[in-house]
Structure 1
Amino acid sequence: MDDKASASSRGAAVRSASNATTAEREHFGSRLGFILISAGCAIGLGNVWRFPYIVGKYGGAAFVLLIVFFLVVFALPVLVMEFSTGRASQKGIARSYDVLEPAGTHWHRFKWVALGGNYLLMMFYTVITGWMIAFMVRSAAGTFNGLDAAGVGAVYQGLVENPWESCMYMVLTVVIGMTVARAGLQKGIERVTKVMMGALFVVLSVLCVRAVLLPGAAEGLAFYLQPDFGKLFAGGWSTFFEAVFAAMGQAFFMVSVGIGSMSIFGSYIGKERRLTGEAVVVAGLDTVVAIMAGLIIFPACFAFGVQPDSGPGLVFITLPSVFGHMPASQLWGALFFLFMSFAALSTIIAVFENIVGFSMDEWGLSRSRACMVNGILLAALSLPCVLGNSVWSGFEVPGIGNIQAIEDFLVSNAVLPIGCMLVVLFCTRKTGWGWKAFLDEADTGSGLRFPRYARGYMTYVLPVLIAVVLVVGCVPIVRAWLGMG
């Protein structure tokens, strides 16, 4: 009884504090700002780096349709839930569970999982974003002109194995992210993201037009846009199920849910519009960018005889050699990596805001101090990833890889699925926030309603799907540890 009374008192105190500070909380200056920043958080390396090579691996257009299907039935509902918990609590992940959980429950303890996920993500994301910026500089300088894939690979290895240069670009990325976050929601994050996202779509459109007009690009467009479901069964049912699980995972990671990065933006918006419609727009923009990235990459690959299933090296090694043989190669290469850098930086800025917002909500830090403390901490925590590709390159975990791969594995295969599972259970269980409270919040305002008939699916089926992604994601490491290859 004492524990319940204590928890009830704590919950009441948090709710009181939340109500007192709601009027002081920053808000977006416009709906467009909310949509672009939320989309910017979702649009990242998962769209423009992972999406093309995984589509190439699983046979093109038919696999794209699988991804879109799972985006609708799998990832979109979780996105609505994150927006809802943020707007209802007027807090980010640091305090949303505290405000919304029933007295005597302990959902708030899971916020530390989300915070850890944000830090883990940035510990390698800042490094990869730094490489994108470095490749933009090299492309503009003509470094890749005339080089084949082996030559570009040597340049790439020289960058990642140079701890000083890699560290310099990582620190530059952290400085950019924290400088924008320090300027505030409207004057910094919203203003910069609007410009960045606008430029991203302009550059992306120009590159799409250039790619589809290349001689020989038609074959790449057919591979990418004409579904051939036979490719999903090329190796029998095992190949099909492998593709299904891969599509579920890709849809899951494309919208950046599970670590509270969307709940913080939900806490910055008003009650004028229903959240399902807003989530559809955000997920739609996210999908459009991924599909447009494919419209650049696949026509270019087929035009220059490059295999579309080249794997993770497709962006950093294969494509620079393709652009290096085009007329005006420096221009197209620099524009491509400018687009990649904008996509990565939009996620950096959004996740930094989530981390800064956590510090402000949980510990009452000022925005300036939260940015300074977290900026220094993130730069220091990113060093293992930098060194893991150079002086610590001998350190690897069987079935996963080096330090960067370990951090990526933990975020993608553990923290994100677990975080999504918790959000779904919190919004559908009586012991959590509950289905009715979630629906009331999601459907406040005008616009598209959340389907009420989906309660059974959301309560029982969706958690099972998330559990499948979690288990399947761990299969490679289990196989490696058991010596099964």
Structure 2
Amino acid sequence: MTQTSITAAVHEKWTSRTTFLLSAIGFAVGLGNIWRFPYIAGENGGGAFVLIYLVVVLCIGAPLVAAELLIGRRGNLSPIGSMRAVAKEAGASPAWAGVGTIALLATFLILTFYSVIAGWAADYLWRSLSGAFGGLDADGSRAMFDSLMASPGRLALWAAVMLGLAVFITRRGVSRGIEIASLSLMPLLFGILILMAIYGTTLEGFGEAVSFLFYPDFTKVTAQTFLIAIGQAFFSVGVAMGGMMTYGAYMPDNIKVPSSTLVIVGADSMVALVAGLAIFPIVFSNGLGPSEGTGLVFQSLPIAFGTMAYGGVIGIAFFILLVAAALTSMVANLEPLVSWAEEHRGLSRSAAAPLIGLAVFVLGMGSVLSFNVLANFHPLAIFPLFEELTIYGATDYIASNILLPLGAMLTAIFAGWIMNRHATRDELDLADGLLFKAWLFLVRFVGPVAIGALMIFAFIG
């Protein structure tokens, strides 16, 4: 493989393939993997949905991850800088840098509410350590969660704690911060998840959990099932948030994009499946509802932890798992913003990380207040699509259903149609053969069509 970067190095590089992969997997694996994927799979055909999801990940998610990594490594800069540099190399308009701007705006908005939800996990970890789940019944669990939602101070405190940890890690840089955190948190996350899954095999609800997740019920498969699978795959692997492009900019030439992509998306999917095998045996063994989403994690499971054997230990482990997943994703979302500030605003990393963290926290107060003081405030009510959405809801919708799909579609078009073909082959380290042509077809046609369908579904849905 030839030297591929077209700009002078201004950022650190990953010290090894292992640290890069752990960091990229940490970005992809987030809170949604732990509770959202398992119940969506169960409600949409179990094994049938899992099969559809895996096909979608391979045909849409993986090609887009590879596209972001190769653009990032080719440009060697933040998403805005890389898009501009690679467009210049291809003789295309510098306006393509706007794709990087969309990514940074999306990841900033996501951080404003994701940090709040991550704070819920931190609050419940503290509760589990203090033994607050002992003897908890349904009314007590509901009151516990409601009291958290009703307290702007507590929500803001825990959001600040999680943001503070993310800022601390990010400001230390790639080798002294992100890599050390990934080497510590990701093995911890994997270890806890595997141990919980092993424990799940000893519970009477294990068989029912396996059936719920993997029994193929094709009667539940509709056109909407495919769209749900596309949405889950698309957001699960972290496309269009700038993280993969930024992490790609730190990749040395000896790390191969195709094999790394398969490891990242494979690990992300495996975590989601193993999480189902860890959580749902507990759910079914305790007669809980499997499709409660947020309520399952923060209201139903604490009841089970308070009554089951070894529940105190399992509860602590589970919320450590949630906090670790949230923190690695927050670091990866913060990094593109810090990288941009270093390049375009002349700020040092040690100054940029705290300033961006503070801005995220200040704007994140809108999401904090959406659960209490401003619960009935709908800032964009003049638009029918947003008339019932709080600040939190509107921010989530704009980032998740408009900016991310738009950015992903433009990234696919850029990589497939605009980027210099020699450059894409060089970065993928593939000859102009079947594998390269398959990737090119998926990025040029399958990805944009699927994302377009997802955006239409989001608007009319």
Interval containing the TM-score (normalised by the shorter chain)? over 0.9
Return the alpha-carbon distance in structure 2 between the equivalents of residues 115 and 400 of structure 1: 26
| Aligned partner of residue 227 in structure 1, secondary structure | coil
| Residue matched to 1:385 | 367
- Note the C-alpha offset of 1:104: 5.7
Q: What is the CA–CA distance in structure 2 between the aligned matches of 1:449 and 1:407, rounded to whole Å?
A: 42
Equivalent of 2:441 in 431, 434, 456: 456
Give 2:327's aligned residue.
345
The corresponding residue for 1:237 is: none
Distance apart, 1:210 and its partner CA: 1.4
Distance of aligned partners of 1:191 and 1:70 in 2 relative to their CA distance in 1, 3 Å threshold:
same
Report the secondary structure of 2:307's partner residue.
coil
Instruction: Map 1:101-140 to 2 at 5 A.
Output: 101-102=87-88, 103=91, 105=93, 106-140=95-129
Q: How does 1:238-277 map to 2 (within 5 A)?
A: 240-277=222-259
* SS of corresponding position for 1:466: helix
CA distance in 2 between partners of 1:288 and 1:310 (Å): 22
Over the aligned positions, Cα root-mean-square deviation in angstroms equals: 2.0
Partner of 2:428: 442
Select 1:423's aligned residue among 408, 411, 414: 411
Amino acid at match of 2:424: F
Q: Residue 334 of structure 1: CA displacement?
A: 1.2
How many residues in Structure 1 have an aligned counterpart in Structure 2?
447
Match of 1:222 in 2: 211
Displacement of 1:449: 8.9
CA distance in 2, matches of 1:198, 1:381: 33
Pick from 159, 169, 173 the counterpart of residue 148 of structure 2: 159
> In structure 1, what is the equivalent of residue 42 of structure 2?
56
Following superposition, the deviation at residue 161 of structure 1 comes to 1.4
Which residue pairs with 1:303 in the alignment? 285
- Name the structure 1 match of 2:13: 27
Are positions 1:465 and 2:453 aligned together?
A: no
Quote the Cα distance in structure 2 between the aligned partners of 1:393 and 1:269. 44
- Tell me how far 1:42 sits from its aligned partner: 0.4
Q: Distance in 2 between matches of 1:362 and 1:456?
A: 35
> What is the aligned partner in structure 2 of residue 414 from structure 1?
402
Q: Secondary structure at the match of 1:393?
A: coil
Q: CA deviation at 1:134?
A: 0.4
Q: Give the AA of the match of 2:437.
A: R
Name the counterpart of 2:317. Answer: 335
Native 8 Å contact 2:14 2:174 kept in 1? yes
Runs of 4+ in 1 over 4 A off after TM superposition: 397-400
1:12 is aligned to: none
The answer on whether the counterparts of 1:220 and 1:303 sit within 8 Å (CA) in structure 2 is no
Deviation at 1:316, TM superposition (A): 1.4
Residues 1:361 and 1:18: Cα distance change in structure 2 (over 3 Å): farther
**8 Å Cα contact 1:94/1:362 also seen in 2:** no
Q: Deviations over 1:398-430 (max 9, x none)?
A: 57632222222112111111111111111112x
The 8 Å contact of residues 205 and 283 in structure 2, kept in 1 or not, is answered as no
CA, structure 1 residues 449+205, in 2 after alignment: closer, same or farther (shift >3 Å)?
Answer: farther
**Is 2:314 the counterpart of 1:325?**
no
| Secondary structure of the corresponding residue to residue 409 of structure 2 | helix
| 1:270 aligned partner, one-letter code | P
1:148 Cα shift? 2.7
Alpha-carbon distance change, 453 to 349 in structure 1, aligned in 2, over 3 angstroms: closer
TM-score, normalised relative to structure 2: 0.93
Q: Is the 8 A contact 2:29 2:271 kept in 1?
A: yes
The whole-number CA distance in structure 2 between the counterparts of 1:373 and 1:310 is 37
- When structure 1 is superposed on structure 2, of 150-159 and 456-465 the one drifting more is 456-465
Q: Is the 8 A contact 1:428 1:434 kept in 2?
A: no
Q: Are 1:279 and 2:261 counterparts?
A: yes
- Does 2:58 align with 1:72? yes
Give structure 1 stretches of 5+ with no counterpart. 1-16, 233-239, 477-485
Q: Distance in 1 between matches of 2:129 and 2:434?
A: 47
User: Larger deviation: 206-215 or 286-295?
Assistant: 206-215
Pick which of 160-169 and 108-117 moved more.
Answer: 108-117
CA distance in 2, matches of 1:64, 1:422: 27
Q: Please state if 1:45 is matched with 2:31.
A: yes
Q: Please give the alpha-carbon distance, in whole angstroms, between the structure 2 residues aligned to 1:194 and 1:441.
A: 26
**In 1: Cα distance, 2:371 partner to 2:387 partner:** 17
Normalising by structure 1, report the TM-score.
0.88
For 1:316 and 1:56, how far apart are their aligned partners in 2? 19
**Does structure 2 retain, via aligned residues, the 8 Å contact 1:426–1:434?**
no
Residue pair 2:35, 2:293 contacting (<8 A) in 1 also: no
CA shift for structure 1 position 276: 1.0
Q: Is the 8 A contact 1:53 1:314 kept in 2?
A: no
Q: Rate the CA distance shift 1:269–1:403 in 2: closer, same or farther, 3 A.
A: same
Q: State the shift of 1:268 in Å.
A: 0.7
Query: AA paired with 2:100?
Result: K
Partner of 1:8: none
The one-letter amino acid of 2:397's match is F
Q: Which residue of 2 aligns with 1:394?
A: 376
Preserved contact between residue 130 and residue 172 of structure 1 (Cα < 8 Å): yes
Q: Deviations over 1:228-275 (max 9, x none)?
A: 22333xxxxxxx112111111001111001121101111111111321
- 2:22 pairs, out of 29, 32, 36, with 36
- State the partner residue of 1:405: 393
| Corresponding residue SS for 2:243 | coil
1:90 aligns with 2:72: no
| 2-structure distance, mates of 1:449, 1:358 | 36
- Tell me if the contact between 2:377 and 2:391 (Cα under 8 Å) persists in the aligned partners: yes
Mapped contact 2:242–2:333 kept (Cα < 8 A): no
